[in-house]
Amino acid sequence: MKKTLIFILPVAAFFLILTAFQSVNNSPAVIAAPGDDFAIPEDVSAIFDKSCFGCHNVESQAEKAQKKLLIDQLGDLSKAKLVGKLGEIGEVVEKNEMPPEKFLAKYPDKALTEEEVKRLVEWSESAANELMK
């Protein structure tokens, strides 16, 4: 009995851990802030990946774009700065200022559709409102 128990307990623990990792890996993809509840929904993240992330990330060579916005570091901002950045995102997207025309001349496939603009504006407004509660 004792030998059986010594064998069964580690095997059971292994399966419990395996199950926990599988449930985490099957959750929807979001970009989350390490210590906050801020997360970018998967559909918004897909839009960012298509049209924005190429310039607005820490690895980019577009220094001007980096100074304006780093999508991969949004979650590191204070709530006040994050609310401001979300407002800026909604504003420049709604005014059709991003992606810039010069960029779109080279990469027309990166242009935002009307639906994508609408989704980004809605998300930025709702995320900012949620943070201000």
Higher-confidence residue: 1 or 24? 1
Interval 104-128: pLDDT, tens = 999 999 999 999 999 999 999 999 9
DSSP string for residues in the chain: -HHHHHHHHHHHHHHHHHHHHHHHHTSPP-EE-SSSS-EE-HHHHHHHHHHTTTTSSTT-S-HHHHHH--GGGGGGS-HHHHHHHHHHHHHHHHTT-SS-HHHHHH-GGGPPPHHHHHHHHHHHHHHHHHHT-
Region class of 96: left (phi > 0), else alpha (psi between -120 and 50), else beta: left
Interval 45-101: pLDDT, tens = 999 999 999 999 999 999 999 999 999 999 999 999 999 999 999 999 999 999 999
d(Cα 124, Cα 62) in Å, to the nearest integer?
A: 23
pLDDT at position 38: 81
Strand 39-40 to 31-32 pairing: antiparallel
